Amino acid sequence: MKETKLFDFAIIGGGLAGLTLAIQLKQAGLSVILFEKEQYPFHKVCGEYISMESWNFLERIGIPLAQFNLPKVNTLRISAPNGNTITHPLPLGGFGISRFTLDNELYKLALQLGVSIETGCTVFDTIKQLIKTSHGNFTARHIIGAWGKRSKLDTVLVRHFLQPHNRKLNDYVGVKYHVKADLPEHTIELHNFKNGYCGISKVDQNQYCLCYLVKGSELKKMGGNIKALEEKVLMKNPFLKKYFTHFPSLYEQPLVISQISFEPKTRVEDQIPLAGDAAGLITPLCGNGMSMAMHASYLLANQLIQYSNGVQSYEHALKAYEQEWIQLFERRLKVGRLIQSLFGNPKLTQIVLALLKPFPSVINALIKQTHGKPF
Ligand SMILES: Cc1cc2nc3c(=O)[nH]c(=O)nc-3n(C[C@H](O)[C@H](O)[C@H](O)COP(=O)(O)OP(=O)(O)OC[C@H]3O[C@@H](n4cnc5c(N)ncnc54)[C@H](O)[C@@H]3O)c2cc1C
């Protein structure tokens, strides 16, 4: 046993859900340990457009976003594979910041507040209050799962979304670059191609995040060759042809993740509450998975703090969290899956965009269905 201390809470996963939860619990006077398998700062596959829903929250917990001079986004431009476009204002809008920067700022804040953080540390298993990791065993009264889209822990917990019959929404691949570009700063672009879509928007350091999601089967057809996929499939869209040809990548290699699942997930497993993508991932074209991860951590922190203050039992805290989660997010996830299903087949995408173009109020309503309110 490396640590003999019994922490109040152990959080597995130091992405946005895990880090913001650790910060809130620590600010409430609780002892917290967080495990992250990578070393900060590091890049992540993500479109890096954050809806304004979480601006106030991040400032409130101690991230001075206003000082970072970040690009603000208020317009969405979507293209069909043939290059036809729709441009539409975003009711709430968003801002651009790389995960390299944001996660690292949250990590530094958590450390400064006194959260114990084990980086480069993979959690293998948990048994009641025991956490088995690559750095040895640790103990905590309660364990929280914030391990993101997919982790070995999902297999250990035999989670339903991994069962073989749940394959339909289980096999997506995400690819990301940071590029130099000269596109309008206030616009996020979403360009469709066969079985996928690619977003581009400005982030900090004068860079643009170019990130796409594609069905795993499409990459398989190209023998797993990312370059071939881009040349033969993505570049059929004239916008993507221009961007992949003229915008120099700042990475030597793209960042790639596979086996992304949009299947519905449970919010609590074995008395372990789950936050962020571990509880359910919204389709990226909605552009608010990050805000949802932080919003879930806000809901969970409130319930856990009430439990720690003796106001309610642990079981009640988990039930209340689950109910709030369902009320706030379940419908958004469903609508996100529906919208994603309309984009993929090039002909259908063209028809959908042509039908939507004359009806901005319908586009507004769809955007509102997938977004929440500031918290
Ligand atoms: C292609 C794509 C584009 C996207 N674009 C956007 C966008 O533009 N805007 C938006 O709002 N959302 C976007 N999202 C969604 C967004 O990235 C996620 O919703 C968000 O990152 C969720 O945060 P999280 O904390 O739950 O998970 P993560 O940020 O993934 O953090 C989980 C952490 O847990 C760690 N971990 C996992 N297993 C273990 C273990 N066993 N032990 C220790 N550590 C572990 C991981 O290393 C990771 O750091 C996109 C998603 C994809 C796939």
Please choose from 117, 277, 288 the residue to mutate so as to test ligand 1's pocket, defined by most ligand atoms within 8 A of CB: 277
Sequence letter at residue 76 = L
* Residue numbers of the domain that contains 134: 6-370
Q: How far apart are CA 314 and CA 364, in angstroms?
A: 40
Give me the mean pLDDT over the 228-247 stretch.
Answer: 97
Q: How far apart are CA 142 and CA 139, in angstroms?
A: 9
Distance 16 CA to ligand 1 centre (A): 7
Q: What is the pLDDT of residue 3?
A: 53
Ligand 1 atom closest to residue 290's alpha carbon, by position in its atom list: 11
Cα 339-344-349 angle, rounded to 5 deg? 70
* Number of CB atoms found within 10 A of residue 283's CB: 24
Give me the mean pLDDT over the 199-216 stretch.
Answer: 97
Ligand 1 atom closest to residue 17's alpha carbon, by position in its atom list: 25
| Residue 1 counted as domain residue | no
| Residue 125 counted as domain residue | yes
Q: How far apart are CA 232 and CA 371, in angstroms?
A: 33
Kindly indicate the confidence band of residue 349, based on its pLDDT and cuts at 50, 70 and 90.
confident
| Residue 231 counted as domain residue | yes
Choose among 336, 148, 134, 346: nearest CA to 240.
346
The CATH number of the domain where 181 resides is what? 3.50.50.60
Q: How far apart are CA 297 and CA 332, in angstroms?
A: 17
CA distances from 372 to 3, 79, 142, 314 (A): 40, 25, 29, 27
Strands 255-260 and 123-127: unpaired
Q: How far apart are CA 77 and CA 189, in angstroms?
A: 5
| Residue 286 counted as domain residue | yes
* Residues with a CB atom less than 6 Å from ligand 1: 12-18, 35-38, 44-50, 122-123, 146-149, 151-153, 174, 211, 213, 260, 276-278, 281, 284, 287-291, 293
160-196 pLDDT, tens digit per residue, is 988 876 566 778 999 999 999 999 999 999 999 999 9
Q: How many distinct structural domains can be found in the chain?
A: 1
Q: Among residues of the chain, what percentage have pLDDT more than 70?
A: 98
Q: What is the pLDDT of residue 345?
A: 84
Q: How far apart are CA 352 and CA 357, in angstroms?
A: 9
| Residue 330 counted as domain residue | yes
For residue 83, what is the DSSP state? S
| Residue 375 counted as domain residue | no
Q: How far apart are CA 367 and CA 360, in angstroms?
A: 11
Q: How far apart are CA 306 and CA 321, in angstroms?
A: 11
